[in-house]
Structure formats: structure tokens, C-alpha cells
Structure 1
């Protein structure tokens, strides 16, 4: 009909993904992956299912709003509300740090420590956040039970939700607390990813503008949490137990010195890139003689 306007053709998802990837390139190291995760979230599909169906899909109307949030440097995990860690898919909110692959180094170190028939029965996760470390450890040792402690009520709620999500609510308990203060029990394995960033450090915008500052910064030198933990650790470790702490890229010597001064033996743990990412801390038998 003369003068009529044809409705706009739906944008093919493949075309939208190419456009979104180009727009995200200045703000992300993984622009194509980010675009795919945003689209899959908007379509309520898994990324794998979406890619298999890509030729017949059109761009979701919500895609532009989600893309705008990512262009503002908001982490993908906060936009989609989930993050994979170890073998688990976890609920993530801005009340907790985004679980990172670096932290999986602690689980790998724990598995290496408890090889063979020996296995931890009681596990403690200090500064649990989303519950990622504790739940990953409980996934590795189905017979174990664990306790997660965090100072943030909102974080404790997220961790409890994740325990239920992963089918571990009967083995994982989460409580409010100030690190290990007031705990009477002792634990075979203690995991901890404390704040370890110096207060004046420069961070990427998506970290400092979106993730909880209390889980990032630890005083002038980034060591405040380790000082407190080194003081508490002796009353928390069971005989033969170990504690594994995540550390900053330049803290292998400074953090280790605090635990050594408190009478513990310390061993560094390197990630796949050869960087020291964690410390394994246990009672120093020589100092106990």
C-alpha cells in the first residue's frame, strides 16, 4: 500500500553479537564472551544452547539494556547474577566479590595436601563471601562438613542461598562473625581469601566501582587481615590441620613473614602461570618441641 511503512526487521542474534563485541572491545578483555553471556542471559538460555541455535535466533529486546550496564564496567557476574567456580554455578550479587579462577588455586592446593585416604572432616572458610571456597571444598570431599564466616549479613544470605542451590545446605553452615573470633571448634582445613589490597592501590573500574570495598582493601599495606589471622590461627587449627590463604601478587614474602613470626610453617603455592597465589600454613613442629 502506498505510503505504508514496513515494520523493522528483527535483528539477527548473530549480527547483534558482532555489534556488541565491537562495542565491548574497549572495556573488556573478552568482548565476544561477554556479548554471548549477556545474550544468553536475556534469552534465558545456556550459552551452549544459544550458540547451537544461533542461526534461528533474533536479538532479545533486553540486550541493549544489559549491554549498557557492561559498557559502564559492571561485572558480567553481577549483570547475570551467576558465576561458575570450580564445578559449581553460584549466585552472585554486588554484596560479594566475584569468584575468580585465581581462587581455585586454594582448592587445588587443598586437594594436593589431602591426597589419598586422608581427607578433611571439618572445614572452615573465613570471609566466605558467596561461599565459593567452602562449597567447592565440600564438593571435593562429600563426607566433610563446613562452616563459613563473614562480617556481612548480606554475604551470609548469598552463601546460604548457594549452599541450597548446590545441594549442600545440610553440610554447610554460614554465620556472622569477625574472622575466627569466638570460635571454639578446631578445623582440619581452613580456607581464606581475605581482603589484601593496599588502600591507595589503583584498581580496574569494574572492581573499585562495583565490588564491595570491605572485601578488597586491608589497610595501608594490604596486610591488616593477615596480621589478625596469624594471631587467631593457632586456636583454630586441629592437630595436623592446614590453612590456605590467598595472597596478592607481591605479598609472598610479606604475608608469609607474619605467619612465620607467629610460629607457623609456610609454603608458597604457585598458579599455572608460575605466580605465587596462596600460602599453605601449618603448625611448625620444630617450634613445638
Structure 2
């Protein structure tokens, strides 16, 4: 039996009401994303042609059910926009968030300068996930090349697909490695958004994070600092002279992470706050 379509404007109102009625905080935004995704329409279509009959109503209802059950809207859609790119998500990838764009902004001038001076900028992205940080940098600098490192085969496959979709597959390679274990060669820039949540605090996170982001991408050990110790102790063997290490941090970790890197022979080069005014990125030079 063929599915009966509904007017676009009516469907948008229905979706918004369902989510709002279930207490979803961003009901208007999430319902619009869901309806536009499954009907291949835009906000302009909703304004100019609200009476247009659209299909996929059953899929939209199923997506609304998932959202009401707590699944993040971008997990339902299967993608997230980041730094002007559309990145596929998968089960074992962290959903890239706007705060991480602060790290891209912090190191991009160095990438441009290095590429102009050396003719290339080699980047190592530890815990690459979707490839978000590395891919943002290589799409912004045509002479940059990057290796995205992860222990998850699922994440590496997802990052590779994202690189191909963005047309930069020749300048991005995905490599399976536990941090630096399988890495060879020197890089001008090492970047990472490592797990930095204290193990005991993971159960206190929002349901959307705790239940749908991979725990391995969240858990930074008892004090949330274990990945930083690993990076600080191993980075020098893989860093070019005058290279940089750029890191995302938790909002209360600036002092501790700075101390870890200073003890390993680094100086704090720059520090950056996110859009909320929280400490978010530290960049070190050896």
C-alpha cells in the first residue's frame, strides 16, 4: 500500500509538536532537521511551498520516535556539520562539536605558514574519529597532508569515507595505532581531541552523550589526564623541530595539562577559549 503524503507545513508542525510534547529542548530545530532530511526539502521550501505534498512520513515518524527516546538528532541523520564540512558519523565515532572548531582555528595559521615556508605541512591527528580536525585542516590548506590515527576500525573507515567525500583522500590517510605505537616519521603538527572526562564522571553526563557517544572517546582515566600524559611523553619522537602540539582540553584542565607538558619539556605557545568563554585549547612548542 502506497504511503500517503502530507503537506510540508503540516508535517513540520506535527513533528515540532511531537518533540515539544515529549520535552525535547530544541524541538523546533530538531524537527526541522529531521523533516528536511527525509523529504529533501529546505527551510525556503517550507516558507514558499508549505502546501507541497511530501512523502517519507513513516520514516519521519520513526526518526521522531528515536529522538523522543533520547537519541541525538545528528545520530539519527547520520551526519554532523563541522567547519563547513558534512561528516558521516558511525557507532564508534565521537560526534564532532562546535567547541572543537576552536582547535582548528588555533592551529590553522601555523599550518598555512608551514605550508608556505616548507611546501608541505605534515599533520598527525591522534584519536581522529570522524577525521574532523585533520580534514578541516587539509581542506583549508591545499599543501597540508594528514594521518588520522585511531584504535577503532569503524572510526578509521568513517574518516576515510569522509576524506573521499571531501575530495582530499590523497592527502589524508587513516592508520590504526594505539596513540604513537605504530607511528613513524616526523610531523610539523600533532593535534588531538583526546578523551578527557574523569571515569567516575561519565555516568553524570547528559544522556545523549553518555548513551550514544563511544565511551572510549570520553574516558580519560581516573583524573581525566591519562591521554595527555601519553601524548606529552611520546610527541617529541614524532615532531619536527619547531613543531607544535595542539590539544582540546576540559574547561578545568588548563593548569594540569600545562604542567604535564612543561614537565615533558614543552612551553605553552598559545591558549584559546571556546564560544562559551571556557578554556578549550592549548598549543605547545618544544
CA distance in 2, matches of 1:208, 1:47: 31
TM-score normalised by the chain length of structure 1: 0.88
Aligned to 1:38: 34
Q: 1:46 to 1:192 in 2, by over 3 A?
A: farther
| Higher Rg | 1
Shift of 1:259: 0.8
Structure 1 residues 280 and 171, CA gap change in structure 2 (3 angstroms): same
Give how far 1:75 is off: 1.4
Q: 1:162 — aligned with what? A: 162
Comparing 37-46 with 133-142, greater Cα deviation is found at 37-46
**1:141-160 map, 5 Å:** 141-160=141-160
In the TM superposition, structure 1's runs of 4+ consecutive aligned residues that sit over 6 Å from their partners are none
Q: Give the number of the structure whose residues are more often helix, by fraction.
A: 2
Say whether the 8 Å CA contact 1:127–1:192 is kept in structure 2: yes
Aligned residues of 2:99 and 2:275 also touching (Cα < 8 A) = no
Residue 199 of structure 1: how far off its partner (Å): 1.0
Instruction: Choose 232-241 or 129-138, whichever is displaced more.
Output: 232-241
Among 70, 74, 92, which residue is 2:71 paired with? Answer: 74
Contact 2:8 2:49 in 1 (8 A): no
Deviation at 1:83, TM superposition (A): 1.1
Give distance in 2, aligned partners of 1:261 and 1:185: 24
CA distance in structure 1 between the partners assigned to 2:43 and 2:238 by the alignment: 42
| Cα 1:274/1:186, change in 2 over 3 Å | same
Aligned length: 276
CA–CA separation in structure 2 for the residues paired with 1:17 and 1:36: 6
Extract unaligned runs of 5+ from structure 1.
Answer: 1-8, 284-289
Deviates more, 1:162-171 or 1:181-190: 181-190
Residue in 2 that maps onto 1:260:
262
Displacement of 1:33 in angstroms is 1.4
Q: Structure 1 residue 100: deviation in Å?
A: 0.6
Q: Is the aligned partner of 1:24 residue 2:26?
A: no
